Amino acid sequence: MSASEPAEPDQLALVAAPGRRRFRTREPEPVAAELPVAQVLVDVGLPHLDRPFDYLVPASMDGDAVVGARVSVRFAGTDHDGFVVARTDASDHEGKLARLRRVVSAEPVLAPEIVALARAVADRYAGTVSDVLRLAVPPRHATAEKAASPDPPVPPARPEPGGWAEHVDGAALLDALAAGGAPRAVWNPGPAADWPDLVARLVATTLSGGRGALVVVPDGRDLAQVSAALTALLGAGSHVELAADAGPSTRYKRWLAVRRGAVKAVVGTRSAAFAPVHDLGLVLVWDDGDDLHAEPRAPYPHAREVLLLRAHQAGAAAVVGGFARTAEAEQLLTTGWARPVTPSRPTVRAAAPRIHASGDDHEQARDEAARTARLPSLAWRTARAGLARGPVLVQVPRAGYLPGVACGRCRTPARCTACSGPLVLGQADRPPRCAWCATEHPSWRCGECGNPTLRATVVGVRRTAEELGRAFPGVPVLLSRGDAVRDTVPSEPALVVATPGAEPVADGGYPAALLLDGTALLARTGLRAAEEALRRWLRAAALVRPGAMGGEIVLVADSSAPAVQALVRWDPAGFAGRELAERASLHLPPAARVAELTGAPADVDDLLMHAELPDGAEVIGPVPVDDGARAMIRAPRGLGTALAAALRAAAGVRSARRTGGTVRVRVDPVDFG
Q: 3-state SS string over 415-457?
A: ECCCCCCEEEECCCCCCCEECCCCCECCCCCCCCCCCCCEEEE
Instruction: For residue 241, name the pLDDT band (cuts at 50, 70, 90).
Output: very high
Band the pLDDT of 235: cuts 50, 70, 90: very high
- Residue 114's identity, in one-letter code, is I
**CATH number for the segment(s) 587-667:** 3.30.70.2750
In whole angstroms, what is the distance from residue 506 CA to residue 393 CA? 9
DSSP designation for 410: T
pLDDT at 58: 94
Strand 240-242 versus strand 265-268 pairing type: parallel
DSSP state of 397: S
- pLDDT category at 506 given cuts 50, 70, 90 is very high
Residue list for the binding site for Zn(2+): 407, 410, 416, 419, 434, 437, 446, 449
Question: Given pLDDT bands bounded at 50, 70 and 90, which one contains residue 444?
Answer: confident
206 φ, ψ to 5°? -65, -45
Residue among 67, 39, 70 nearest 54 (CA): 39
Confidence (pLDDT) at 118: 96
The pLDDT assigned to 558 comes to 86
User: Which residues belong to CATH 3.40.50.300 in the chain?
Assistant: 162-348
**Measuring CA to CA, how many Å separate 109 from each of 59, 69, 264, 594?**
22, 6, 16, 34
The predicted structure's pLDDT at residue 405: 64
User: Residue 364: what pLDDT?
Assistant: 46
The mean pLDDT of 109-137, rounded to a whole number, is 95
**DSSP-H helix ranges across 61-161:** 112-124, 129-136, 142-146
Architecture in CATH of 352-581: 3-Layer(aba) Sandwich (3.40)
Lowest mean pLDDT among 321-335, 518-532, 654-668: 518-532
530-549 core/surface letters (b: 16 or more CB in 10 A; e: else): bbbbbbbbbbbbbbbbbbee
Per-residue pLDDT at 450: 81
Q: What is the DSSP-derived secondary structure letter of residue 2?
A: B
pLDDT higher than 50, residue 127: yes
Pairing of strands 664-667, 618-625: unpaired
User: Which range is least confidently modeled, 300-314, 418-432, 482-496, 640-654?
Assistant: 418-432
Look at residue 579 in the predicted model and tell me its pLDDT: 94
* Phi, then psi, of 280 in degrees rounded to 5: -60, 125
The pLDDT mean for the chain works out to 88
Neighbours of 48 (CB within 10 A): 17
The C-alpha angle 275, 279, 280, rounded to 5 degrees, equals 55
pLDDT for residue 636: 94
Cα–Cα dist 555/517, whole Å = 8
Give the Cα separation of 524 and 534 in Å (integer).
Answer: 13
Listed in sequence order, the residues at least 6 apart from 255 whose beta carbon sits closer than 8 Å to its beta carbon are 138, 242, 275, 276
Q: Domain 162-348, CATH 3.40.50.300 — does that match?
A: yes
The pLDDT, as a whole number, for residue 23 is 52
Residue type (1 letter), 242: L
pLDDT band at 527 (very low <50, low <70, confident <90, very high): confident
pLDDT of 457 higher than 70: no
pLDDT of residue 425: 66
Residue spans of alpha helices (H) in 512-612: 518-522, 529-541, 562-569, 572-585, 601-610
pLDDT of residue 489: 94
CA gap 354, 362 in Å, rounded: 21
Q: Which residues are annotated as a binding site?
A: 407, 410, 416, 419, 434, 437, 446, 449
**What's the pLDDT tens digit per position in 270-319?**
999 999 999 999 999 999 999 999 999 999 999 999 999 999 999 999 99
Query: What is the C-alpha separation between 582 and 577, in angstroms, rounded?
Result: 9
6: pLDDT strictly greater than 50: no
Does the pLDDT at position 197 exceed 70? Answer: yes
Q: State the span(s) of the chain assigned CATH 3.30.70.2750.
A: 587-667
For residues 650 and 369, what is the distance between their CA atoms, to the nearest angstrom?
62
What are the strands of the beta sheet with 53-56, ordered from one edge?
A: 53-56, 37-42, 78-88, 70-75, 102-105
- Residue 566 neighbours by CB distance under 10 Å: 25
Strands 392-395 and 512-515: parallel
Looking at the predicted structure, is the pLDDT value of residue 536 above 60? Answer: yes
Q: Mean pLDDT over residues 584-611, rounded? A: 92
Question: Of 571, 553, 566, whose CA–CA distance to 358 is shortest?
Answer: 553
Q: What's the CA angle centered on 332, arms 580 and 172, to 5 degrees?
A: 130
Sequence-distant (≥ 6) Cβ neighbours of residue 659 within 8 angstroms: 606
Residue 518 has pLDDT above 60, yes or no: yes
Quote the pLDDT of residue 626: 80
Mean pLDDT of 388-392: 95
pLDDT exceeds 50 at position 8: no
d(Cα 515, Cα 533) in Å, to the nearest integer? 10
How many Å apart are CA 584 and CA 524, to the nearest integer?
21
Report the percent of the chain where pLDDT is more than 90.
Answer: 65
142 vs 119: CA distance, rounded Å = 27
Angle between helices 562-569 and 572-585 (to 10 degrees): 160
Q: Which of 9-13, 73-77, 209-213 has the lowest mean pLDDT?
A: 9-13
- pLDDT of residue 11 exceeding 60: no
More confident residue, 62 or 93: 62
Q: What does the angle CA 655 – CA 658 – CA 664 come to, to the nearest 5 degrees?
A: 50
- Range of weakest confidence among 311-320, 494-503, 535-544: 494-503
The pLDDT tens digits of the residues spanning 41-66 come to 999 888 999 999 999 999 999 999 99
Of 468, 463, 457, nearest in space to 412 by CA: 457
Span between the terminal Cα atoms of the chain, in Å: 41
pLDDT above 70 coverage of the chain, percent: 90
**Residue 360 confidence (pLDDT) above 80:** no
Residue 37: CB atoms within 10 A of its CB come to: 21
pLDDT at 3: 56
